[in-house]
Chains A and B, each alone.
Chain A
Amino acid sequence: MESYQHGDQAAAHALVDLLSGRLCAFFSSPMGSRAQADDMLQEAWLRLHQARHTYRPGEPVLPWMYAIARRVRVDHYRKRRRIELREVAPEGLDNVAGQASPASEGPTFVELIAPLPESQREVLTLLKVHGLSIEEVARATATTAGAVKQKVHRAYDRLRALLAGAETAAGGPS
């Protein structure tokens, strides 16, 4: 990252190779298309490049990167929502079920945590899918480590309740 700041092209390319997979996974969602994820990836790299001077040597890179990527995603959703409000959606365009995983594979992690509120879903995904530490998630989401822990515990409580409900429904009379 420091070599990138010094204008080293090889370091910049290595960083793009190293981090784009993580960014792509971050932007992929069951409700979004591949093209949207690619657009967000490109936009994220543009912003990361413009903000590369704000990375302080010695600080962790991932929270810096995810904080900017998170903002790209928020802006993208807001823009998409504005467009959707103005347009009449053709039938089936937002058919999430059509893009969901095949029944044989079972629900994906993203589908499993879909009933959670956005803030809980976000920290759980960063923690469990992207492998960030609690401190890194706190930095990326501009909050405290204590707040992250609280959100995760609330998410766990909700997931336990959902699991218990699903088991009751499965075991109950049909």
Chain B
Amino acid sequence: MTCREVESLILPYARAAEIPPEAAAHIAGCASCGGLARMLAKRDAAAGPSPAGLARIKAEIAGGLKPVKPLAPASVLAGAYLLIAALGAAAGVFELGTAGWHALGGTQASAVFLALAVSSVALAVLLARQMAPGSRVLVPAPWIVLGFPVVMGAIFATLFRAQPEALFVATGLTCLRIGLECALPVAAVCWLVLRRGAVLGERTAGALAGALAGLSGLLLLEIFCPNLNAYHVLAWHLGAAVVSTAAGMAAGMAAGRIGR
């Protein structure tokens, strides 16, 4: 048995007496593992709470004790976030039209909307889990927040043709504005839902809400804008989603500072 295998065996045990016999045999003969096990078995005598302090806490809790309804299941909350994002994009499409949808080829549309759907579901699930402390984390939030622009960027770069454009900035700024105008109310409503929970990582929650809102803006732009130039889509459509994510993160950090 190697030292690394012993580490894996003793890892889940808090008490020295619980260490499995096969690991104990190795520990007895290995100076390094023996020293480590002795160190981990050491216990500090922690002072308990004072009776007066406990009485004060109980009195405070009793003063504000009312029945509360537990937070809705994560799946319901994730569904609510997806609905908010979809409604945001739908409102924009209702006003601006579907020229982009008709301009997209079959492969382009399938790849773009599938990636948007998967990213949105992942963000909505992570956002819902932010509301309940101690929720299980299957995928770290930064992976999704940083991963979706990379995936979308790869799809745009691969499936869309790049060509120089005369009014690159002028038309681009219009798309950026439309994307952000769609993202802003979606992010605001998501934040209102988030406030129903107990968000401990405001920066992460802000980035997730901003990213989901940004995807809503990106969805609207892909359905509305008929410009399929890869440069335009990468810089301004995806740019709107990235700006929205960064703004959400900044807003979350600011909210965290105010909360403290």
Q: Interface residues, chain A, CB within 8 Å of chain B?
A: 5-7, 9, 12-13, 16-17, 20-21, 23-25, 28, 34, 37-38, 41-42, 45-47, 49-57, 59-60, 62-68, 70-71, 75, 78-79, 108-110, 112-113, 127-135, 138-140, 142-144, 147, 149, 152-153, 156, 159-160, 163-164, 167
Contact = CB atoms under 8 A, between A and B. Distances in A.
B167 interface: no
Interface in B36-74: 36, 39-40, 42-44, 46-50, 53-54, 56-58, 60-62, 64-71, 73
B53 A38 contact: yes
Given A79-B260, A160-B36, A163-B32, A24 B136 contact: no
25 contacts: A7-B68, A9-B65, A16-B58, A24-B48, A38-B49, A41-B49, A41-B53, A42-B56, A49-B60, A50-B198, A51-B133, A53-B70, A68-B198, A70-B200, A71-B200, A79-B260, A109-B40, A109-B44, A127-B11, A131-B14, A133-B12, A143-B140, A152-B11, A156-B36, A160-B36
Given A49-B64, A135-B136, 9 more contacts: A5-B70, A42-B60, A54-B70, A108-B44, A109-B43, A129-B43, A138-B137, A144-B137, A160-B36
A55 B44 contact: no
B174 to A, nearest CB: 39
A56 B57 contact: no
Contacts of B138: 144
B134 A64 contact: yes
B226 interface: no
B67 A164 contact: no
B20 to A, nearest CB: 16
A159 B39 contact: yes
Contact of B49 (A21, A71, A159): A21
A45 B57 CA distance: 7
Contact of B260 (A56, A75, A134, A138): A75
A144 B135 CA distance: 11
Contacts of A66: 134
A109 B42 contact: yes
B48 A41 contact: no
A110 B137 CA distance: 27
B211 to A, nearest CB: 17
Interface in B66-98: 66-71, 73
Contacts, number: 170
Contacts of A42: 53, 56-57, 60
A54 B131 contact: yes
Interface in B107-161: 131-140
B contact patch SS: loop
Listed residue (B8, B58, B138) with the most chain A CB atoms within 10 angstroms of its CB: B58
Interface residues of B, number: 55
A34 B11 CA distance: 30
Listed residue (B4, B12, B42) with the most chain A CB atoms within 10 angstroms of its CB: B42
A51 B35 CA distance: 42
Contact of A128 (B14, B67, B73): B14
Contacts of B12: 127, 133-134
B71 A53 contact: yes
B197 interface: yes
B185 interface: no
